[in-house]
Amino acid sequence: MSEPIYPKLNPTTYLELADELSSRSEPSAKRTAADRAYFSAFLFSRDRLLEKGYVTPYGDERDHQYINEALKRRDILGSFGSQGLRLRRARNVVTYKTGNISTITQQYAHPLNWMLETAREIIKRVDELPTKPRKT
């Protein structure tokens, strides 16, 4: 078997990287940190909810919708799950707009520390969910 060109990834390491990047001054570092914060929470939620028996992801871009809807389920995060989409919308602003971004000019933009903390909270809450009992 050949060596993987990209070894297996733990999505929480994206958040660790985002933390590191957040302390750097370059705009590219801060924007990459914001982007990775979303993907850390999204990918962690997708993989952990699969492991725990809550979801059956597609394994492609449709999972953004699927997982953000799933997070709002009563048996997952409830209304707090709406934070997943807020994080995604904030990430979209940072990733796709190259001009100056402020919370005044971009309604859905959030400071990087908000994005990091929100990602962290989603990951923590998903991690704390119990494994779903299998139906017999």
Partner 1 sequence: MAVKTRESMPTKLYTLYDMDENERVYTYRQWQSLIGTKSDFVYSYIIAGAAKSRPNLSYEQKATSSRKLLLDRERTLWKPIIIRYVETIPVQEIVEEVDESAVAAPPIEIVYENQKLVEALLGNEGKVVLEKVISLIEDSVRRDNWPLTKVVVHYVKDFEVDDWQYALVVLLFNSDLDNAEGYLRDFYNKLDILTERFSDQEQGILERLLYFDVGTNISEA
Q: Rounded to an integer, what distance in angstroms lies between the CA atom of residue 83 and that of residue 12?
A: 17
74 versus 135: smaller Cβ distance to partner 1: 74
Choices 13-21, 38-46, 75-83, 123-131; region in contact with partner 1 by CB under 8 A: 75-83
Residue 109: other Cβ atoms inside 10 A:
20
125 binds partner 1 (CB under 8 A): no
CA distances from 47 to 36, 52, 65, 93, 108 (A): 16, 9, 15, 25, 27
DSSP labels, 10-32: -THHHHHHHHHHHTS--HHHHHH
80 binds partner 1 (CB under 8 A): yes
Choosing from 48, 89, 120, 125, the residue that interacts with partner 1 (CB under 8 A) is 89
98 binds partner 1 (CB under 8 A): no
Largest interatomic CA distance in the chain: 55
50 binds partner 1 (CB under 8 A): no
85 binds partner 1 (CB under 8 A): yes
Footprint of partner 1 (CB under 8 A): 61-62, 64-65, 68-70, 72-74, 78-80, 82, 85-86, 89, 92, 103-104, 107-108
